[in-house]
Each structure stands twice: as structure tokens, then as C-alpha cells.
Structure 1
Amino acid sequence: MATLSTYLNFDGTAEAAFNFYKSVFGGEFQTLQYIKDMPGGGSNFTEAERSRVMHVSLPIGGDSILMASDILPSVGHRLTVGNNTHINITPKDESEAKRLFDALSNGGQITMPLEKMFWGSLFGTCTDKFGIQWMINLPL
């Protein structure tokens, strides 16, 4: 069976974002590699880009893994923060739903407060301080 993972891109803030996500979800990074860790030390990239994240991964429960990297402007990468991606989390219970929602929305923006919905779920949406959109959806 396939495993679904979410991959995010950042413009130089991947490490800060993932330290934040680690504080929310707990656990340890499976991987944290920088451009300078590439063969040749990333010598083809600017000095500032060598300290950017090449790949980071953080298990967030079960088989779910959150992964990311920083873009590399010197090779033409451009980051456009859009509104077409949400990460949906189905927590184990109401207390975890509230904890995750409060932590992820701290410093960000609540789009829809965490409330019991007509379809029978505890549901809320927020955008975290890094521009990533989250949905908390707990069927009741």
C-alpha cells in the first residue's frame, strides 16, 4: 500500500519551520541535510544557499512524514505561496485536536475556528506563521 507524505518548499526558512513543527508534533528529524552536505560541498551554489536545507523529514505519527527543502534562487527557483494546498490532520481525540490547532495557529491566522460542524466533525483551518495552511478534522 502507498504511503502519503507531504512535501513543502520554503525560501530559506525550512529549518525554522521544521523546528516549529517539531515543537508541535514532537519526535526527531529522520533527515536534516543542507546544500553544503552535497558531494563537493554544494560549491556550485552561493554562500548563502549552501546553508539552506536540501532535505528535512519529520515523522508526525504512524506512517505520515512531513518533508521539505529550501528553494535555490541561483538556479531559477521561485517560491510562490499559494492557497491551493492544505495539510489535513485527523487527530486521535478532541484534546489533541485542540492542542494541534492552537499550536499551529499561534503566530499565524485562524481561517475557521475549531468547532463542531454540521457534518459531524470537529473542524478548523488555519495558516501557520510560515504560510502553510492546515485543516484539523476529527470525526466525532
Structure 2
Amino acid sequence: MSFQTIIITGHLGRDPEMRYTPAGQAVTNFNLAANRQYTDSSGQVVKETTWFRVSAWGKTAENCNQYLHKGSLVLVEGRLVCDPETGGPRLYTRQDGSPASSFEVSASTVRFLSGREGESEPEPAGNGSAAPQHDAIPF
């Protein structure tokens, strides 16, 4: 028996989208940006963003659709879902022609870390980097 889990903290890149399967089960998809900032050996600050496409199911999906929005800070626990064609992340080409990849996650738990609507949001975990302002969201 084998087991894998991934835990990600990040901000939603856009509002979540919910739909129902033919069997009537709710599924909500959202994009999550996990930011990392560090200083390299030459003293330059490097900002790095990794995008994840998250799928939440059932009651978790309904709650995500109702309470989350672009910029919300969440913690997701789940499992990586490999691209059936490559066995790894989904590969695509950005609008500018550069190669990129996305990582798919099936969520088992989604914890809302932002304050309620109208309250100020807490600082993100890590180095205090804010949600990225990228136009090249792959989804």
C-alpha cells in the first residue's frame, strides 16, 4: 500500500468555479498560487510562484464556492493528480510562447485562512509575499 499527500498554502488566482457531475456531486475548481521569496547567493531577492489547480468535492466544494474569492488565502491538503499522458504535471504553452506546467491537486481538506468579508486578511505564511499579479494564469 502506498500513500501521498501534499499541503499547500496560497492565494486564489481567480474566483472558484463550481459545477455538478452527472451523478449530482458538486465539484469546485480553483487556481492556487504558492509564493516563495528568498535571497540567492549574489544577494538578489528571487520571487517564485508555483500554480496549482485544485478540485474540491461534495460539501467542501459547496463551501469553497460560497466563501472563497480571488485573493482568498487557503491551506489545501490533498493528493497530486498526474497528467495521464505525461505521468507528471500538465504541460502547456503560455500566451507569450514560453513553456510552463501546472500541478493538479484533489483536495481532501480546504482551510480558509482569510478573514471574513470586509475584514483585513492576515499576512500570508512565509516571507509575507502577497498574491501575485499575473495575467498568465494557465486555466
Please state which structure has a larger fraction of its residues in helix.
Answer: 1
Decide which structure has the larger Cα Rg and report it.
1
Higher RCO (C-alpha under 8 Å, 6+ residues apart): 2
Please state which band the TM-score falls in when normalised by the shorter chain.
under 0.3
* Alignment TM-score, normalising by the size of structure 2: 0.26
Please state which structure has a larger fraction of its residues in strand.
Answer: 2
